[in-house]
Amino acid sequence: MNFQTKPILTPLKVLVINPLSAAGQLTIMKILSGMVFGKDQLVDMILLVYSNEKRAAEVFTLELLGCAFPCYNSFSISSDIPSVSDADVFCFISNFSELTKIDVEKIGSDDQQFDALYLLIKVANNFSGLIFEEVSDDIKLTLKKKPNVNEKEVRKPIIMADGLAALDIVMSMSKNMSSDVLFCPTGIPDVTKSILAEYLKVDCNEINDVLIWAANDEVLHVEVEKPIIIHDKNNNTADCAWTMISEDLLRSIDYDHTQFNSSWMKKEFIQKVAAVTSKNPYGCIYKASVFCNALKSIWDSRKSETGKLTYCNLGVISDGSLGTFRGYPYVLPLVLSRDKWSVNKKFEEDVHVQNEIKRINKIVKKQHELLLPYCKRFLQENVINQAFIPPSESNSNYSVGSSSKSSV
């Protein structure tokens, strides 16, 4: 008999912050169903909730157990503030009304936004970790050879926020955290393809790859790989020809060069994309979907044995490539290679792209300089100086759980 077996993978510890939100619940279901890490990867799911939400979390886990998801290995519910070594993957579901920026003037008048910011800042403030690049390859190799050292001890964690605002907070409020483990998804590529496909009268999956540079959902730039439509064959070799789309295809959709040209792509098209994304059209189902798709892209790259490159657009803390500000949050076109990433430099020499990045830089810096002082003041006033109120005296969420560790 021929028995084919696969090695049993070490269960993956996934910690979800704010798991009872609608987007959080959908994200957990997708993870446990195998849509993110694969159906052969068991998951130890950790739900981080306020202490007065534990009962609701228990009910939720009972529902999940009844679903018999293939990737379930264990559940745990905690109100203890985690450290960066407590899990392999951290999912920050901030549940902010706008994921790319925060209106600090509205936080105090919106209990849901206040609770989300409080939890995010408190957890991030407890994060501290070794900058992974400082660990030499020799040390990593030595650790991997030790039989008593678990694989996760040399595995970079993945810290996924649900938007640029949360990503900026986690990076800014944590201590000694390596920026290359922080990511967030973006919905701009989907909107871009949808608008372009509708305009060109084709299906979305016929549009070629898009590259996104963005400060938020309003200030952004888009480039599309050529040919724009994957199956299009442009045989026009004239020096003055626009190679993004063929003459035959242009005629077939009854357009001429006044309706679709490079100027339209650089101005009207970008304005159309920004007009849609600025309206914050993302519901909880879509938020969970783009979150899980982004996490899957990162994980697929990490587990690749061949080192196959993955091309995608993600929110990251910039490394300073392409003239962006190092240490600031952007949506950028990335090339993922195992546990490392680099910025896609395909349009590095494009003067228009360079000017657009300069425009984006101004907004990124302005947003960061507005958000960081507010978060530091929020931390001081609501976390450090504010004593916890016993649940018998208040309906506040910020009651202390019975634990020796710091709790929420």
Residue 21's domain is classified under what CATH number? 3.40.50.720
Domain presence at residue 180: yes
In a domain, 30, yes or no: yes
**pLDDT tens digits, one per residue of 86-141:** 999 999 998 788 888 887 777 777 788 888 889 899 999 888 765 444 444 444 44
Considering the entire predicted model, what is its pTM?
0.86
Let me know if residue 333 belongs to a domain: no
Asked if residue 209 and residue 90 are part of one domain, the reply reads: no
Q: Is the pLDDT of residue 402 over 80?
A: no
Question: Are residues 169 and 22 located together in one domain of the fold?
Answer: yes
Which range of residues forms the domain containing residue 120? 12-185
Among candidate residues 242, 277, 312, the one where a domain is terminated: 277
* Same domain assignment for residues 211 and 178: no
Domain identity same for 158 and 210: no
Residue 315 lies in a domain: no
Q: Assess whether 30 and 172 both reside in one domain.
A: yes
pLDDT confidence of residue 393: 43
Query: What are the strands of the beta sheet with 43-48, ordered from one edge?
Result: 72-78, 43-48, 12-17, 89-92, 158-161, 182-183
> Pick from 132, 163, 185: which residue ends a domain?
185
Mean pLDDT of 166-194: 92
Whether residues 45 and 166 share a domain: the answer is yes
CB 102 within 8 A of CB 70: no
Total domains in the chain come to: 2
Domain boundary pick from 138, 155, 185: 185
The verdict on residue 45 lying in a domain is yes
Residues 46 and 180 in one domain: yes
Mean pLDDT of 271-291: 92
Quote the mean pLDDT of the chain: 85
**Could you tell me if 95 and 24 lie in one domain?**
yes
Residue 394 pLDDT: 43
Tell me, yes or no, whether 160 and 243 share the same domain.
no
- Pair (111, 206) in one structural domain: no
Does residue 192 lie in a domain region? yes
